[in-house]
Structure 1
Amino acid sequence: MRYGMNPHQSATVEGGPAVIGGAPSLINYLDALNAFALVREADDAGGLPAAASFKHVSPAGAALAGAVDEVAAETWRTPDAAADSLISAYVRARDADPKSSFGDVVALSRPVDAETAEFLRTVICDAVIAPGYEEGAVATLSAKKSGGFLIFDAGTDWQPPARERREVLGAIIEQDRDAADLAAALPAGALDETRRRDALLGMATARYTQSNSVVLVRDGAAIGIGAGQQNRVDCVRLAGDKARVWWLRRHPFVRELPLVDGMRRQDRLNWQIRFAGAEMTRSQQAEFTELFGAEASARYDERTWREEWAEKLDDVTLVSDGFLPFRDNVDHAAEYGVRTIVEPGGSTRSDEVAAAASEHDIDLVTTGLRLFHH
């Protein structure tokens, strides 16, 4: 490998997907392997092309192919993306948290076609993994980063072994790979077709997200992922805040910020996110006023438009990789438009959790299946 976890660590690898472009590091391998496993399971469960945007061993976004809404189409300049296309899956995945997706590893569940390859050429990403590439796609991607863009070919027959093994600080650990049937864990008839699809996408995403994790899914796309927190309610809040910013980016005030000559797409996106989420420092507020004008600056300090718009976010499914230990998880979830919760169950306070769900008119589905991942 180019290096291990950090540039001062040398590393080697045996097995895994074929590298047909660039020189990967250890983190690139970890992202690519986990991301490809996620999208393949999501595709199998949903029956549609799936994509994930991976950063630092957790997904920033994951989605099935579907309609690309006006904001995403405008942002990513993909007005003609078909609802059943591979490119639509990745646009929806990347649009969930575009601040985090900057410089991501892209995972795709179907062979990369010319349209998707051309799109990937235009965005800041570091690598792609897929089960093959259609004619011309590799040549298009190889031109990125002066030939240094990473291209993994997972092939169509790749299967991870039934047992997985790692060595950590001298300890050798071996376990069964987590291959539990996600669909079988969902009680039959508990959810309608749309919410079942969202639940399965959320479960596949949680399975490959660093624990503790919570995934918020809406219309076949994970719009907020809270990863790697030491307590579960922080996962809910983190996922919810990301989902809320995604939703607020659809508000006219955010969409219609004045265009600034010469401003790059990612810079504009970052300003929209700061504006939508009310997360600017004082120095950033001064710069924002200079760039976008006094009217936009005055709106930044207003709370009413954000609160009114946030209340319209609805039909969200929350998937938790572990049981919800306290009702505060449900109380916070209700603030982000959650109408369905899917969790393993089994907490000593499950009765309180169920009561909270009932109070908020949230459907609670327990699976008995924990999906921790480290």
Structure 2
Amino acid sequence: MEEVLMRYGINPNQGSAKVKSFKKLPFKVLNGEPSYINLLDAFNSYQLVRELKLAIGEPAAASFKHVSPSGAAIYSPLSNELAKSYFVDDMELSPLATAYSRARGTDRMSSFGDCAALSDKVDLSVAKLLKREVSDMIVAPAFDDDALEILKSKKKGKYLIIEIDPKYEPEPIEERTLFGVTLVQERNNLLITEKILNNIVTENKYLPDSAKRDLLISAITLKYTQSNSVCFAKDGQTIGVGAGQQSRIHCTRLAATKSENWYLRQHPIALAMKFREGVPHTVQNNAIDKWLCDDLTVPERKAWEECFVEVPHKLTDNEKREYLNGLKEISFASDAYLPFRDNIDCVSQSGAKYILQTGGSLRDKEVIDAANEYGIVMAFSGVRLFHH
């Protein structure tokens, strides 16, 4: 039997934590000490990026927090606006580093202290990018020596680095012990391909290649997101992930808000913001989101004003809505069926043009009729992607 000790279980008071296997473990800890949650993030996030690479053929990355992705992406060139919004306009990025900057850029606030997952060998460009971000760990199939040296210096030498075997295939049956009881099931080894997009149920049936790619990214992301979950995607990356809500409409509203925040961060006012010297990226992230997206009390406004060289204009609700009208051609996927038309009404206001859902609700006709009202293209996958 092979074992690896962990710092602790899910919480620090849960000791006697270890990983054990009767076979050779499919990963190595190259630096740092893992916790239970660290390994949950590592195993889920690596499966996600491996499947993205397999499905689309481009380097893939994910930014994981608490066993759900804050964002996921494949390589696609960055516009000048996105590069500035992601704080990488001063860097030359490899394709893999570009994928990670996109994944982290989905929701930079939620990616604080993330697990960075990469589909390919980590190069120097990825390491330099991670060096300037607050990240707790990385998982990848391999590391260049110079990249590994930089990563080992993070967090005063405690940055967790996990190398995982890209050829490893788990057993088809998986077990989990809960409350002293062992649960057994077939693992979810469903291969997500373009075939799940074939059953288009709306009057508008035109699904461009870019939308097919983005719907696949959304579906694969949802396969490793705590349910209920939904996902918005555009240009090869997620732009809003709603996870772990008991009501699907609350998931949808959460993801819609995140996608709108992602778009607002590209507003000319956001890109022109100048911060005082020494204000870290984490504080800049919060300041941008607060300034663009939230109503501020007088004390809050005064506190955030101190971050700026020049206090920027605060967008009005009308100015935000006018700008958000430019958020279009968005792909949206759900890990199960959409039970009511309220989800369609919500996503249509956030630019959704293409929808993938399971189908099979008693109100399918009502939901299809709503999609037709907005000219949305909607496909039924016939596949549920719950993940717990």
Residues 1:204 and 2:220 are matched in the alignment: yes
Compute the RMSD of aligned alpha carbons. Answer: 1.7
Matches within 5 A, 1:6-17: 6-10=11-15, 11-14=17-20, 15-17=25-27
SS across alignment from 2:109: helix
Deviations 1:137-174 (CA, angstroms, capped at 9, x unpaired): 21121111111111110122122221111011112101
- Residue pair 1:317, 1:340 contacting (<8 A) in 2 also: yes
d(CA) in 1 for partners of 2:295 and 2:245? 21
Residues 1:94 and 2:104 are matched in the alignment: yes
SS across alignment from 2:165: coil
Instruction: Compare 136-145 and 215-224 and name the one that shifted more.
Output: 136-145
Matches within 5 A, 1:1-374: 1-10=6-15, 11-14=17-20, 15-74=25-84, 75-79=86-90, 81=92, 85-183=95-193, 184-187=195-198, 191-292=207-308, 296=312, 299-300=313-314, 302-374=316-388
Alignment-mate amino acid for residue 18 of structure 2: T
Quote how far apart the aligned CAs of 1:280 are. Answer: 3.5
SS across alignment from 2:350: coil
Quote how far apart the aligned CAs of 1:295 are. Answer: 5.6
Instruction: Tell me the TM-score normalised to structure 2 length.
Output: 0.92
Question: Do the aligned partners of residues 349 and 180 (structure 1) sit closer, same or farther apart at CA in structure 2, a change above 3 Å counting?
Answer: same
Question: Do the aligned partners of residues 263 and 21 (structure 1) sit closer, same or farther apart at CA in structure 2, a change above 3 Å counting?
Answer: same
Deviations 1:224-271 (CA, angstroms, capped at 9, x unpaired): 000000011111110010000000011112222232232111111110
SS across alignment from 1:306: helix
- Residue pair 2:141, 2:164 contacting (<8 A) in 1 also: yes
Question: Do the aligned partners of residues 291 and 127 (structure 1) sit closer, same or farther apart at CA in structure 2, a change above 3 Å counting?
Answer: closer
d(CA) in 1 for partners of 2:327 and 2:127? 33
d(CA) in 2 for partners of 1:281 and 1:13? 48
Deviations 1:304-334 (CA, angstroms, capped at 9, x unpaired): 2111111110011001001000000000000
The number of equivalent residue pairs is 371
Task: Determine what percentage of the aligned residue pairs are the same residue.
Answer: 38
d(CA) in 2 for partners of 1:9 and 1:127? 21
Name structure 1 gaps, 5 residues minimum: none
- Residue pair 1:81, 1:88 contacting (<8 A) in 2 also: no
SS across alignment from 2:136: strand
Quote how far apart the aligned CAs of 1:119 are. Answer: 1.6
Instruction: Compare 126-135 and 341-350 and name the one that shifted more.
Output: 126-135
Deviations 1:322-348 (CA, angstroms, capped at 9, x unpaired): 100000000000010000010000000
Question: Do the aligned partners of residues 35 and 364 (structure 1) sit closer, same or farther apart at CA in structure 2, a change above 3 Å counting?
Answer: same
d(CA) in 1 for partners of 2:102 and 2:315? 29
- Residue pair 1:66, 1:220 contacting (<8 A) in 2 also: yes
Quote how far apart the aligned CAs of 1:294 are. Answer: 8.5
Quote how far apart the aligned CAs of 1:80 are. Answer: 5.0
SS across alignment from 1:345: coil
- Residue pair 2:230, 2:334 contacting (<8 A) in 1 also: yes
Name structure 2 gaps, 5 residues minimum: 1-5
- Residue pair 1:5, 1:27 contacting (<8 A) in 2 also: yes
d(CA) in 2 for partners of 1:65 and 1:334? 27
Question: Do the aligned partners of residues 371 and 41 (structure 1) sit closer, same or farther apart at CA in structure 2, a change above 3 Å counting?
Answer: same
Instruction: Compare 127-136 and 87-96 and name the one that shifted more.
Output: 127-136
Quote how far apart the aligned CAs of 1:282 are. Answer: 4.2
Instruction: Tell me the TM-score normalised to structure 1 length.
Output: 0.95
